[in-house]
Structure 1
Amino acid sequence: MYQALYRRFRPKTFDEVLGQEHITTTLKNQILRDNIGHAYLFSGTRGTGKTSAAKIFARAVNCTNSKDGNPCNSCDICSGIIDESIMDVIEMDAASYNSVDDVRELREKVQYPPSRAKYKVYIIDEVHMLSKGAFNALLKTLEEPPKHLIFILATTEVEKLPQTILSRCQRFDFKRIGTQDIIKNLNNICNEIGLEAEEGALKLIARNSDGAMRDALSLLDQCISFREGILTYEDALDILGIANNDLMFNLIDSIKDKKLEEALNVVDDIIQNGKDINQFIKDLIYHFRNLMISKTSTDPWDIIDLEIEIVERYTKQAKELSLNFILKAIQVLNEGENQAKWSSQPRIILEMIVVRLISLTGEDSLEERIDKLEKMIQSGNITVSEKKADEKINTKNKIEKKQNTSKQVEEKTHEEDTEEIEEVVDIVDDGKDISFNEIKKEWPNVLKLVKSKRVSTQALLKEGKPLFYDNKMLTIGYGDGFGFHKQAIEKDHNREFVEKIISSHFNKNIKVKFVMANSMENEDGKEEKKNNEIKEMAKEVIDFFGEDLVRIIDD
């Protein structure tokens, strides 16, 4: 029966684990010094060796003939653990056994000593899938397990684990495996299985594995099944659904030159050839990433892990694009990738991305525009046509003329306002009391008088209405939406003009206060309004019955 490559070539010792020397060295030293903990937490992205390291550690702590901390894989204990005839190493999937009852059952089983090995080892994979109750049930056992027991917890989402669990484990973070390590391991495996593969094909597989050795071996498995003989770069492109470099460079050239028709035809060819659209967007992001590195790095060959000829093409294309455009393009592509994942029409998203990228071309950043301007000034290449110069002069003259005219009008208006105030007759206080009702009855006549003297002020005043009058102070209120009118009429020249008009009309020195009507709806305003109404009613009663027959009693 055929066995998948990632299972067939699973590492059997710590030395075979790729790219995790910071972890394997620590674990080997603990075994050599007999300094073994009771709980370990292995965290990291998929395919980085967490479960493999847990299985190696489970054999190494029980091996009767360990070598430099590595299991021998040949003694009875190691052989029994590998072929699963010894039941002292138990693997559990927390996604399937995540309830409180499952953990309680586990707690009962861990009390029993190992049957043949020195330690009983529980490997709990995807431990973040345990429920909150299950974590609480596991907590006490994890904190004080029997001497013969070791827990190894593995997870890809360590942030979901409670702090109470994290604090009771020795934590080891597995990092992504480097591209060079993956390529080296793929070469070794190809040699062992007798497969001839081009270096470009293995590099393509390594780049698309995203630092996961298991993903790289799964992709290699697909490529082996595709065609007998040599595994070529083109074969890998076809299998993985990736667009080739020529296609990518041509598409970016079309975008740079604003050739929308050509760019959309490239997109159509990609789709007609069955390429995966989401994968193509990822390839575009990777292409622009390489352009960014080529644009900003003095030595991009050390960062871009590709052939020298391809890196030179990136460098050449990057010179023709602004850094501002490259950065904005990456941002647009990232947004498009997120939209395409959930869209039922990813082709439209891709075409929309191409259109947006074309619209971005030619937009320089502020720094780049300043640099260009400085270079033009230094070289003396700034020329302005006579026609444009005349237009600018005429525009400037018009603006200055308009400003002077506005200033003259403003000054004239101010002079007229002053004259109008002076034209109001002098106020002679006749000594008679005036009621608020009289002011309300006469208010239309007051507005007419203001209009005859100054229309602009009357336009502001008519939007307000008298609220109450007390102690020679008339309060005028403005409703919601007329705050501008209130602010304008409060200016000294307007307020003084209104006070003179009102005082002259009623032969009384009257001051004016402007408020927003809604602000007077508080208790004080209501009380003052009520008092004014009482005074008006009392005056009417006295006028009707006579002052000698009426007596006003204050509360």
Structure 2
Amino acid sequence: MSYQALYRTWRPQRFDEIVGQPVITQTLKNALITNQISHAYLFTGPRGTGKTSAAKILAKAVNCPNLKDGEPCNECATCLAINKGAFNDVIEIDAASNNGVEEIRNIRDKAKYAPTEGKYKVYIIDEVHMLSTGAFNALLKTLEEPPEHVIFILATTEPQKIPATIISRTQRFDFKRIKASDILKRMEYILSEKNIDYDDKALKVIAKSAEGGMRDALSILDQALSYSNDKVTYESALSVTGSVTRDKLQSYIEAVFNSDVQTGLKMVQEILDDGKDANQFIEDLVDYCQNILLYHQDPEMVQKSELGLLGSNFKKIAGEIGSELIYQYVEIMSDVQNQMRYSSHPDVYLDILTVKLANAKKSGTVVGSKDEDHGEISGTKELEQQLSDLKNQVSELKSELSGSKKKSPVNETKDQNVTKSKSVHHQGSNKQVQVNLTKVYEVLGKATRKDLTAYQDIWQELLQSLSVTQRAVMHVSNPVAASDQGVVVAFDYGFLYQKAGTDGDLMDALQNGLDRILGFVPTVVFVPNDEWPQIRSDYLKKHRSGADKSEANNSETNSDAPDASSDEQPEDTKGKKDNDSLNQAKQMFGNDIINVKDD
């Protein structure tokens, strides 16, 4: 077979050729330059992000006699043999088909022998999470005390299935999804080297469809080249990905927004007649709606992430359709998509979807920013509710004032403060979700950097377990503090924080997912990202204040202690308190996000 797939032909042979993982490649190169090579590595991340390629390059680099700046030469006999898979001291094992105890014991026994050709004997175990419990136990002792001439490189897409005892004995590198812009540049480079004509829009469609995987992108590119006889056209890219053009998506959204069911049904029929996948069509619609939501908050970010493929009328549509209406659209799409999975007649469900979307604006349950008729009805109800709330507050204030004449001035001030607090909370409860500071402080009281890192490592896996609608809400959230019993989650956008805070189903889904991954249900608290620095600062100040009071109480019982009423404190005492607060902040949040400034 003379032809090789693009992802095999253009597999990276140097660290510099690995796309989208600069931190990992630079770290490995530095380790090679300084001769700080570990005995075991764990490469984790989604498919097609460079894990196996990095493992092979590392195997070459540790055995290459002409290593330069941490890169293998790819010219010596050792490098050429490893590239061909003919080097005896680099052993690749597929754990999916070699997952038993006997296979691992065989590896353990052979690892004792010195390498025959190179400096190191390197074992690359792919999909290592497929090993059985017994196989992991057999591997454990070898990883703990390996021979000096052996290096293990474990690769997996599901690190949560690997025992903690294995992970703790390796250097872990988390490969991230590759940005669409980086995938696009790599495809442009490959096609230019092969002197193949291509359409810019076609490559952008493929880069978006790859979902962060370089191998997936090159596989789709291979299909597009076969489809259009060594050319990459926009039509061929749409055909092989099953995607729908942005213009058609826009026309469909405009039709259902204007309640034009007839036009919407005609467009569905045309899309199906073109051979487009019904499920992919709904995915494209959800993605389009998500872009509208983000465009309301940050237009530049959307333009950049979508590589300019938003469509000619996107700005106009985003200005007409409000966020609440988009929420309902996405929920309807998610419900129809779930029902369609078990049907052999997807066209029926797309027709149902069209009718439901067209009638969503008439249902009276959504507030659209430009939906005038519905906005008047919803606005009237909101005003009526606010009027009722104000009447209740006035009644409460009258009752408090009528009884205040019998109270002392101090008590009167206290009661007014309580009344004001109740009023603010009551009024806010109908408009926005308040941050639960009690729960936040409970988490911060026991927060550690180790717990925060653990939640950050599983966050993407947790989001993948949610529905399409829930992922659309949670995609801009991140854990910012965590303890062994709880986690604080910050949202980049306030409107998504409000949405998440009122969604009971979302909280249930998050807790169920965390229970499955962690084995217990932690406390989950939401905060807006713009308020988080102040909340964190207030907690640290409060904690310092509490420590000061405790010291003051202790000093009162000590006859030799200095006067507690004095405003001045010894310089070393102040420094100690400042250091205690700084150390506590570093323990909770880590050194990387703590910025110390002198007063």
Q: TM-score, normalised by structure 2?
A: 0.60
Residue of structure 1 in register with 2:88 after alignment: 87
Q: 1:229 to 1:212 in 2, by over 3 A?
A: closer
Structure 2 letter corresponding to 1:72? C
Matched, 1:340 2:337: no
What is the SS of the residue equivalent to 1:105?
helix
Deviation by residue 1:194-224 (Cα, 9 ceiling, x = unmatched): 1110110000000000010000000110011
CA distance in 1 between partners of 2:343 and 2:79 (Å)? 50
What is the SS of the residue equivalent to 1:90?
strand
Describe how 1:276-295 pairs up with structure 2 within 5 A. 276-295=277-296
What is the SS of the residue equivalent to 2:313?
helix
* Preserved CA contact (<8 Å) 2:242 2:276: yes
Q: 1:72 to 1:335 in 2, by over 3 A?
A: farther
Q: 1:256 to 1:55 in 2, by over 3 A?
A: same
Deviation by residue 1:460-518 (Cα, 9 ceiling, x = unmatched): xxxxxxxxxxxxxxxxxxxxxxxxxxxxxxxxxxxxxxxxxxxxxxxxxxxxxxxxxxx
Deviation by residue 1:309-364 (Cα, 9 ceiling, x = unmatched): x4552110122212101122123323433443443333333333222222222446
Q: CA deviation at 1:105?
A: 1.4
Matched, 1:329 2:329: yes
Residue of structure 2 in register with 1:317 after alignment: 317
Residue of structure 2 in register with 1:159 after alignment: 160
Q: 1:290 to 1:374 in 2, by over 3 A?
A: same
Residue of structure 2 in register with 1:172 after alignment: 173
Q: CA deviation at 1:230?
A: 4.0
Q: Give the superposed CA RMSD.
A: 2.3
CA distance in 2 between partners of 1:300 and 1:61 (Å)? 41
Query: Greater CA deviation, 161-170 or 294-303?
Result: 294-303
Residue of structure 2 in register with 1:499 after alignment: none
Residue of structure 2 in register with 1:32 after alignment: 33
* Preserved CA contact (<8 Å) 1:100 1:137: yes
What is the SS of the residue equivalent to 1:141?
helix
* Preserved CA contact (<8 Å) 1:290 1:314: no
Q: CA deviation at 1:100?
A: 1.1
Residue of structure 2 in register with 1:352 after alignment: 352
Residue of structure 2 in register with 1:131 after alignment: 132
CA distance in 2 between partners of 1:315 and 1:300 (Å)? 14
Q: 1:128 to 1:301 in 2, by over 3 A?
A: closer
CA distance in 1 between partners of 2:365 and 2:304 (Å)? 26
Matched, 1:64 2:69: no
CA distance in 2 between partners of 1:181 and 1:367 (Å)? 36
* Preserved CA contact (<8 Å) 2:250 2:311: no
Describe how 1:108-507 pairs up with structure 2 within 5 A. 108-228=109-229, 230-299=231-300, 302-307=303-308, 310=310, 313-362=313-362, 363=364, 365=366
Residue of structure 1 in register with 2:499 after alignment: none
Q: CA deviation at 1:181?
A: 0.8
Q: 1:249 to 1:298 in 2, by over 3 A?
A: closer
Q: 1:338 to 1:100 in 2, by over 3 A?
A: farther
What is the SS of the residue equivalent to 1:26?
helix
Q: CA deviation at 1:15?
A: 0.5
Deviation by residue 1:121-140 (Cα, 9 ceiling, x = unmatched): 00000001111111111111
Residue of structure 2 in register with 1:435 after alignment: none
* Preserved CA contact (<8 Å) 1:324 1:364: no
Query: Greater CA deviation, 3-12 or 228-237?
Result: 228-237
User: For the pair shown, which has the larger CA radius of gyration, 1 or 2?
Assistant: 1
CA distance in 2 between partners of 1:345 and 1:375 (Å)? 37
Q: 1:156 to 1:264 in 2, by over 3 A?
A: same
Residue of structure 2 in register with 1:381 after alignment: none
Q: CA deviation at 1:290?
A: 1.8
Structure 1 letter corresponding to 2:274? N
* Preserved CA contact (<8 Å) 1:209 1:216: yes
Gaps of 5+ in 1: 378-555
Q: CA deviation at 1:372?
A: 5.5
CA distance in 1 between partners of 2:51 and 2:60 (Å)? 15
Q: 1:138 to 1:342 in 2, by over 3 A?
A: farther
CA distance in 1 between partners of 2:378 and 2:357 (Å)? 28
CA distance in 1 between partners of 2:182 and 2:235 (Å)? 23
Structure 1 letter corresponding to 2:205? L
CA distance in 1 between partners of 2:299 and 2:377 (Å)? 24
Q: 1:260 to 1:373 in 2, by over 3 A?
A: closer
Q: 1:102 to 1:243 in 2, by over 3 A?
A: same
CA distance in 2 between partners of 1:24 and 1:260 (Å)? 53
Q: 1:235 to 1:83 in 2, by over 3 A?
A: closer
Structure 1 letter corresponding to 2:320? E
* Preserved CA contact (<8 Å) 2:367 2:375: no
Residue of structure 2 in register with 1:20 after alignment: 21
* Preserved CA contact (<8 Å) 1:258 1:358: yes
Q: CA deviation at 1:46?
A: 0.4
CA distance in 2 between partners of 1:166 and 1:294 (Å)? 40
Query: Greater CA deviation, 264-273 or 167-176?
Result: 264-273
Gaps of 5+ in 2: 381-599
CA distance in 2 between partners of 1:352 and 1:84 (Å)? 54
CA distance in 1 between partners of 2:304 and 2:360 (Å)? 27
Deviation by residue 1:213-256 (Cα, 9 ceiling, x = unmatched): 00000011001111236422122112322222222111111111
Query: Greater CA deviation, 312-321 or 359-368?
Result: 359-368
Q: 1:178 to 1:100 in 2, by over 3 A?
A: same
What is the SS of the residue equivalent to 2:174?
strand
| % identical aligned pairs | 46
Q: TM-score, normalised by structure 1?
A: 0.64
CA distance in 2 between partners of 1:228 and 1:372 (Å)? 53
CA distance in 1 between partners of 2:140 and 2:155 (Å)? 16
CA distance in 2 between partners of 1:57 and 1:193 (Å)? 28
* Preserved CA contact (<8 Å) 2:95 2:126: yes
Matched, 1:76 2:66: no
CA distance in 2 between partners of 1:99 and 1:106 (Å)? 11
Structure 2 letter corresponding to 1:66? L
CA distance in 2 between partners of 1:197 and 1:205 (Å)? 12
CA distance in 2 between partners of 1:170 and 1:338 (Å)? 40
Structure 2 letter corresponding to 1:55? K
